Amino acid sequence: MDFVENLKKIKTYSSRIEAEIAKSFLESHGIKSYIFSDDAGSMVPSQDFVTGVRLMVVKKDFGKTKEILDALEFITEEETE
């Protein structure tokens, strides 16, 4: 099986910064994740707004990852109120 075929998209972000924050949060919980974006090798970061930045995880970690990211979004929303 190809490595990429073993990955599943957990979320698409509108910026690489948002995706990096989520990636770091997952890593702090022991989950490896990968960022995929079509930004011309980081030469055209504004392209992320159009195409999005995909955060991918290994399929077997998808359920656990979703719970962790839902907690991150809850914390973020709560802090802004």
Contacts of 14 (CB under 8 A, 6+ apart): 48, 49, 52, 53
Tell whether domain 4-80 is in CATH 3.40.50.620: no
Nearest-angstrom CA–CA distance, 49 and 9: 17
Is the per-residue pLDDT at 40 higher than 90? no
Q: What is the pLDDT of residue 77?
A: 44
Closest CA relative to residue 35, chosen from 6, 52, 56, 12 = 56
Confidence label for 37 from pLDDT (cuts 50, 70 and 90): confident
